[in-house]
Amino acid sequence: MFSVSLIIPTYNEAKNIPFLIEEIFGVVDKSKINLEFIIVDDNSPDGTGKIAEGLASKYPIRVINRAGKLGLGTAVAEGFKLSDREYMGVMDGDMSHNPVIINQMIVSLADNDIAIGSRFEEGGSVEENWGWHRVIIAKSGKFMAQIITGVKDPLSGYFFMKKSVIDGVNLKTKGYKILLEIMVKGKYKKVKEFPYTFRIRKYSASKLNTKEFLLFLGQIIKYSFYKAIRLFKK
C-alpha distances (whole Å) from 205 to each of 11, 16, 43 are 11, 11, 17
Q: Indicate the average pLDDT of the chain.
A: 87
Contact 103, 27 (CB under 8 A): yes
* Confidence (pLDDT) at 132: 55
* Residue 18 predicted with pLDDT over 90: yes
What was the pLDDT predicted at 179? Answer: 92
Contact 162, 87 (CB under 8 A): yes
Q: With a cut of 70, say whether residue 175 has pLDDT above it.
A: no
Predicted local distance difference test score (pLDDT) of residue 148: 79
Confidence of residue 133 (pLDDT cuts 50, 70, 90): low
Note the pLDDT tens digit of each residue in 82-92: 999 999 999 99
Residue 167 pLDDT: 96
CA angle 37, 41, 46 (to 5 degrees): 120
Instruction: Of 199, 197, 200, 203, give the one whose Cα is nearest residue 16.
Output: 203
pLDDT at 131: 61
Please name the residues in contact with 203: beta carbons below 8 A apart, sequence gap of 6 or more.
13, 15, 16, 94, 95
Residue 207 scores a pLDDT above 80: no
Predicted confidence (pLDDT) per residue in 31-43, tens digit: 999 999 999 999 9
| pLDDT (average), residues 155-183 | 89
Model confidence over 96-125: pLDDT tens digits? 999 999 999 999 999 999 999 999 899 998
CA angle (24, 65, 163) in 5-degree steps: 55
* Averaged pLDDT for residues 132-143: 62
Q: How far apart are the first and last CA of the chain?
A: 36
Helix (H) or strand (E) holding 82: helix 72-82
Q: Which residue has the higher pLDDT, 26 or 148?
A: 26
Give which of 90, 46, 83, 89 is closest to 64, Cα–Cα: 83
Strands 159-162 and 87-90: antiparallel
The structural domains of the chain, ordered by start, are 2-233 (3.90.550.10)
Q: Answer whether residue 53 shows pLDDT above 70.
A: yes
